[in-house]
């Protein structure tokens, strides 16, 4: 628990930020969230860094939010970086849950989407539920052919993860199939629908990402920042931001419904049962 949950490495003009809880398939707890934020801030502040790569150590990019490891810290007070809302970890019900998810999940993801330097998600193995949010806030997604994607939270009665980008990154029909089945979808499937940029053999993943990052690093920094903002603004014009806000309400209604009927906002499901449900061991 004392080792770094996120590592930072400079490779030329690229900063490689790596989630480092491989034993737990890089399940994201708040400690990791704020370590990621610190690493991204360092990369933004370093004038020599042109591109940021987000990676996951081990066999998997990320299995999602931490809903069951010994390092789970959902009831621990958290920093406020994304929104100036209260923390209220000591208060029950929707008050606590809305505060945490506004800041730690939706807010932080939105904050990272605004980072003025191009970000590439380097994805292998599992990219599931909360893991999708991390990949989606990056500008490019390059994955290995063994990568798979799933959002199984409809099994909990919840309409998708907090950063509800599904219809915008997949198109509405594929988004529905993705959500309605909760199944694992392959890298090839994601590529066909434009959710990822490139799929390469696992052995070539790092070199491919390096090559694309180097290519981008040759462009003028301010031009990249403006181009990124331009496309993000276009996505928002297509309803991304407003859509996410409205679905965040449905998401919290689902948590509240679960708490009301099953005394558990996750409908009694944990990491193991979720993994089994999506076809894992
Ligand atoms: Zn939630």
CA of 217 to the centre of ligand 1 (A): 36
State residue 203's pLDDT score. Answer: 98
Asked whether the predicted pLDDT for residue 97 surpasses 90, the reply is yes
CA of 251 to the centre of ligand 1 (A): 6
pLDDT digit string, tens, across residues 44-91: 999 999 999 999 999 999 999 988 888 898 888 888 999 999 999 999
Can you state the angle between helices 240-262 and 221-237, rounded to 10 degrees? 60
Whole-angstrom distance, CA of residue 211 vs CA of residue 61: 20
CA of 82 to the centre of ligand 1 (A): 16
> Are the CB atoms for 167 and 173 separated by under 8 Å?
no
* Model pTM score: 0.94
pLDDT digit string, tens, across residues 136-172: 999 999 999 999 999 999 999 999 999 999 999 999 9
Q: Which of 238, 236, 269, 237 is nearest to 255 (CA)?
A: 269
Indicate the SS3 state at residue 33: helix
The single residue listed with the structure tokens 């100036």 is 84
Lowest mean pLDDT among 56-65, 88-97, 186-195, 248-257: 88-97
State residue 279's pLDDT score. Answer: 60
CA of 131 to the centre of ligand 1 (A): 13
Domain 6-277 belongs to what topology? 2-enoyl-CoA Hydratase; Chain A, domain 1 (3.90.226)
Q: List the chain domain ranges.
A: 6-277
CA of 249 to the centre of ligand 1 (A): 10
CA of 266 to the centre of ligand 1 (A): 8
Q: Dihedral of CA 117/118/124/130: which sign?
A: positive
Asked whether the predicted pLDDT for residue 187 surpasses 60, the reply is yes
CA of 224 to the centre of ligand 1 (A): 33
CA of 97 to the centre of ligand 1 (A): 8
């Amino acid at each position: 628990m004392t080792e770094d949950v996120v590592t930072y490495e400079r490779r030329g003009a690229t900063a490689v930020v790596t989630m480092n809880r491989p034993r737990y398939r890089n399940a994201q707890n708040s400690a990791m969230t704020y370590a990621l934020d610190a690493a991204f801030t360092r990369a933004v502040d370093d004038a020599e860094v042109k591109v940021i790569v987000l990676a996951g150590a081990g066999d998997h990019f990320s299995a999602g939010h931490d809903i069951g490891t010994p390092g789970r810290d959902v009831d621990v007070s958290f920093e406020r970086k994304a929104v100036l809302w209260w923390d209220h970890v000591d208060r029950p019900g929707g008050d606590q849950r809305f505060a945490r998810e506004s800041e730690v999940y939706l807010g932080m993801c939105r904050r990272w989407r605004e980072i003025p330097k191009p970000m590439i998600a380097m994805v292998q193995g599992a990219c599931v539920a909360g893991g999708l949010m991390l990949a989606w806030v990056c500008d490019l997604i390059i994955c290995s052919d063994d990568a798979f994607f799933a959002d199984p939270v409809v099994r909990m009665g919840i309409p998708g993860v907090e950063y509800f980008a599904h219809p915008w990154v997949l198109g509405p029909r594929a988004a529905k199939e993705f959500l309605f089945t909760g199944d694992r979808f392959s890298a090839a499937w994601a590529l066909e629908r434009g959710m990822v940029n490139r799929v390469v053999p696992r052995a070539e993943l790092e070199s491919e990402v390096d090559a694309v990052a180097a290519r981008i690093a040759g462009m003028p920094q301010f031009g990249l920042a403006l181009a990124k903002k331009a496309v993000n603004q276009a996505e928002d014009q297509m309803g991304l931001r407003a859509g996410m806000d409205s679905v965040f309400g449905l998401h919290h209604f689902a948590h509240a419904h679960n708490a009301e009927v099953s005394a558990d906002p996750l409908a009694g499901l944990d990491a193991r049962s979720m993994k089994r449900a999506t076809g894992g061991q």
